[in-house]
Every structure is written in C-alpha cells, then in structure tokens.
Amino acid sequence: MILLDGKSAAEAMKKDIAREVIRWCKESGRRPHLAAILVGEDPASLTYVRNKENDCRQVGMDSSVYRLSSTISQEGLFECIRTINEDKDIDGLIVQLPLPDHLDEQEIIEAIDPAKDVDGFHPVNVGKMVLGLPSFVSATPAGIIDLLAFYRIPTTGKECVIVGRSNIVGRPLANLLSRKGSGGDCTVTLCHSRTTDLAKVCRRADILVAALGQPHFLKANMIKEGAVVIDVGITRIADKSTKSGFRLAGDVDFEEVAPRCSYITPVPGGVGPMTRVSLLKNTLQAALKRNQ
C-alpha cells in the first residue's frame, strides 16, 4: 500500500506556482491577489481562511480577508461582493462556506464575477466545466485529479465509484473523471444516501472516492483488493487529549481499509492540501487571464 501524500504533492506544485507568480509579477508590476469573505466566527472557517492566507504568502501572492458579522444581511453581503468584483487589484474572490442560515448561499455565489470565481462554484463556471470548456474547476475535485496525476495513477477504463453527490465535490468530480482524455476516461458511478446496496457498488471500484462526511464510514468489506481509495471527508471529533480539543476524521476506516488498497490518502494530509493548492492555481489563472 502506498500513501498518497497530498502534503508533499502540494508543496511540489506550490514551487511551480511560485515560479510562475514571479514571472507574472515582473510582467504586470503587481502580485496576484486573492480576497476571501468570512462571515461570522465559525472555528473551522477561521482556520481554513488563515491557511489560505498562509498559502498565498508562501507562493508570493497577496491576500485580503473581509471579515463580516454573522448578522450581516443578504444585501450587505452583496454590497461587499460588488466592491470586490469591481476592484481592479483583486484577481480572485471566495466566500468561505458555510454561511449562516439566514443567507442564501446560491444567490451569494451567483453574485460573484465568474472571472473572479476561483472556487469554481458560479453556474457559469460549472456549466463550462461540464461542457469541457476552459473554466475555474472547483478546488477539491481539481485537487483529486492532480493528486492522481502526481502519482501517475491511470484512470483510463477504470471503474470509479464516488460516494457523495454534493455540488462542490462528488458531482463535479464525477464529471471530470468521466470526461474524454487524460485524467478522465473512467466509468463513473455516483452514489448517495438512496443508493441500494452501497457496499456491493463500492466493491466494483478500481478508484473509490469517499465524500459523504460520515467519519470512518467506509469499511474493509466495501473495498476491492488493490483499489485506490481517496478520502475527502473531514469531520472534527472532540478529543480532550489534543491541544485543539478535537481531531480530524476521514470517511474511511483507515486502519481496516489501508491493507486492502494499492494507494490511499491519509486524513489529514491527503486531499486537504491539494484543495488548497488548486485554489492558488485558480487564482494565478485568474490573474493571467486579466492580463491577456
């Protein structure tokens, strides 16, 4: 079994991005700039945004965080997005999700300028991605594709089963893995909570992706011998023995499943770092496009 080390892969990719950023800065006279809107004080969201700022710094990009109260109105949030959309010095914009319940997430995503939508959630980018046109691809599915490519794991003709059909992970990933050409050409089955006999479907998979948000859900009896297993799940579990008071758990029962796999991602240190590096790639792409 080989561990798919997303941390090392992401570090290698960041070096390439940093080189490209230097080249772009010389040409444009400024640095690519990622803006993040953070609504409220959700601890996980605070950590994610802080990590994104650090990542930007590491590759020589600028970043800024717009911190808004958890009671902000929909119109107030629109106003902030409009300001950033119009700011010529900002290349990429993300709104950290989830948002408080009183805000309409879909409407907020649709307010972002598609040319700055580096999360790839805007319907324009989703539509282009589905049609195979150049677009921002959402960070987690793009990171998974890059991780498979980094380890030269073949996808052509492989049976791929994805558990979880969310708009940010499962659904776009199903699209990317089934598209024609390099990194695609899989036969994809997309599963969800209504799938009949999930274990039987999972056992068909040469490449199995768990993205359901249920800690340790995938057990050894759901895995074909020699499968590649990608664990997207991140759930915070209370743990008094750690400094932070919690630990991160994936959707795969790693101890049980790892011995049956050819490759498997750890949690943390697998898909997470690849997601973050995809956001940097998209921000650089946004900056490059604005200079064309």
| Closer residue to ligand NAP (CB): 115 or 220 | 220
What residues numbered 118-177 form the site for ligand NAP, per CB under 6 A? 140, 163-166, 168-170
Q: How far is the CB of 6 from ligand NAP (least distance, A)?
A: 9
Total residue count of the chain as it appears in this document: 292
Span interacting with ligand NAP, options 27-35, 54-62, 122-130, 271-279, rule CB under 6 A: 271-279
| Closer residue to ligand NAP (CB): 18 or 201 | 201
The residues, ordered by sequence, that sit 6+ positions from 128 with a Cβ below 8 Å of its Cβ are 134, 135
Largest CA distance in the chain: 57
| Closer residue to ligand NAP (CB): 90 or 126 | 126
| Closer residue to ligand NAP (CB): 22 or 237 | 237
What residues numbered 211-250 form the site for ligand NAP, per CB under 6 A? 211-214, 232-235
* 96 carries an active-site annotation: yes
C-beta nearest to ligand NAP: residue: 166
What residues numbered 273-292 form the site for ligand NAP, per CB under 6 A? 275
In order, the DSSP letters of 170-202 are HHHHHHHHHSSSTT---EEEEE-TT-TTHHHHH
| Closer residue to ligand NAP (CB): 140 or 155 | 140
Which residue from 12, 168, 9 is spatially nearest to 94, judged by alpha carbons? 168
Q: How far is the CB of 144 from ligand NAP (least distance, A)?
A: 9
DSSP annotation of 99? P
Q: How far is the CB of 241 from ligand NAP (least distance, A)?
A: 22
Catalytic residue among 96, 158, 206, 231: 96
- Tell how strand 246-249 and strand 33-39 pair up: unpaired
Asked if 45 is part of the footprint of ligand NAP (rule: CB under 6 A), the reply reads: no
Return phi, psi of residue 135, to 5°. -165, 170
The pair of three-digit structure tokens given for residue 159, joined into one six-digit string: 């049976």
Asked if 272 is part of the footprint of ligand NAP (rule: CB under 6 A), the reply reads: yes
The pair of three-digit structure tokens given for residue 248, joined into one six-digit string: 């991160």
Catalytic residue among 52, 116, 224, 281: 52
Cα torsion through 117, 118, 124, 127, rounded to 10 = -160
* 285 carries an active-site annotation: no
- Tell how strand 246-249 and strand 235-238 pair up: antiparallel
The string over 132-148, giving b where at least 16 C-beta atoms fall within 10 Å of a residue's C-beta and e elsewhere, is eeebbbbbbbbbbbbbb
Q: How far is the CB of 77 from ligand NAP (least distance, A)?
A: 20
Asked if 198 is part of the footprint of ligand NAP (rule: CB under 6 A), the reply reads: yes
* 104 carries an active-site annotation: no
Q: 79 near 50, Cβ under 8 Å?
A: no
Q: Where are the alpha helices (DSSP H) in the chain?
A: 6-28, 43-59, 74-86, 105-111, 123-131, 139-150, 170-178, 198-202, 254-257, 271-290
Q: How far is the CB of 88 from ligand NAP (least distance, A)?
A: 30
Span interacting with ligand NAP, options 34-42, 110-118, 149-157, 209-217, rule CB under 6 A: 209-217
Catalytic residue among 91, 119, 231, 251: 119
| Residues that are catalytic | 52, 96, 119
List residues near ligand NAP by CB under 6 A. 140, 163-166, 168-170, 191-195, 198, 211-214, 232-235, 271-272, 275
